[in-house]
Structure 1
Amino acid sequence: MATVDKLRNGLIDKILTIQNKEVLEALDKLASSSVPESQTVQLSEEQKKMLEMSEEDIKNGRLISQDEMHKRNLEWLNAM
């Protein structure tokens, strides 16, 4: 995956130097045509299990507020 990131970053660097509007429009058209309209994400079995567990937590009322989660996170970080 590092090679994909390296390639993407290299392309971004090159695009940032282009001043020709027609070239940029052509690149935009090319990039837009290569992105699928809807992309299906494949979940691993572990991810599916975590989502199922989350649904069960919601159904059974095992929830806390965002503020409470933030408070717990701060307590945890301060304990380190």
Structure 2
Amino acid sequence: MTGADNIRNSIIDKLLTITNQEYLTALYQLVNKSNVNDDCINLSEAQILMLNMSDDDIKNNRVISQKELDKTDLEWLKSL
């Protein structure tokens, strides 16, 4: 189950406990008016290439942790 599925299920569980009709109506209007965009986004060739390169990096374990990245960024900033 994805993170979005978990969030959705949690929201549904909470909605089932709400009995206040005005509150539910307001939530319904909020959700109903939300702009959910299911349009596909066309990527440029350069974007597709970059995504493929990042997939290759992940497959070949050419990655570093966020902590390591923060450390190298801080070192770089100090050198300026």
Query: Percent same amino acid among aligned pairs?
Result: 46
Question: What is the DSSP-based 3-state SS (H/G/I as helix, E as strand, rest coil) of the residue aligned with 2:78?
Answer: helix
Any gaps of 5 or more consecutive residues in structure 1?
1-27
Any gaps of 5 or more consecutive residues in structure 2?
1-28
Q: Render the CA deviation track for 1:6-27: whole Å, top value 9, x for unaligned.
A: xxxxxxxxxxxxxxxxxxxxxx
In the superposition, the TM-score normalised over structure 1's length comes to 0.53
**1:70 Cα deviation after fit:** 0.5
Question: Which portions of structure 1, spanning 4 or more consecutive aligned residues, are displaced by more than 2 angstroms?
Answer: none
**Larger helix fraction of residues:** 1
Q: Identify the residue that residue 65 of structure 2 maps to in structure 1.
A: 65
What is the total number of aligned residue pairs between the two structures?
51
Matches within 5 A, 1:21-32: 32=33
In the superposition, the TM-score normalised over structure 2's length comes to 0.53
Q: Render the CA deviation track for 1:20-75: whole Å, top value 9, x for unaligned.
A: xxxxxxxx88xx37x35413222111111110000000111111111000111111
Note the aligned Cα RMSD (angstroms).
Answer: 2.2
Residues of 1 paired with 2:37 and 2:45: CA distance? Answer: 25
Bigger RCO (CA 8 Å, 6+ sep): 1
Residues of 2 paired with 1:36 and 1:65: CA distance? Answer: 33
Deviates more, 1:57-66 or 1:35-44: 35-44
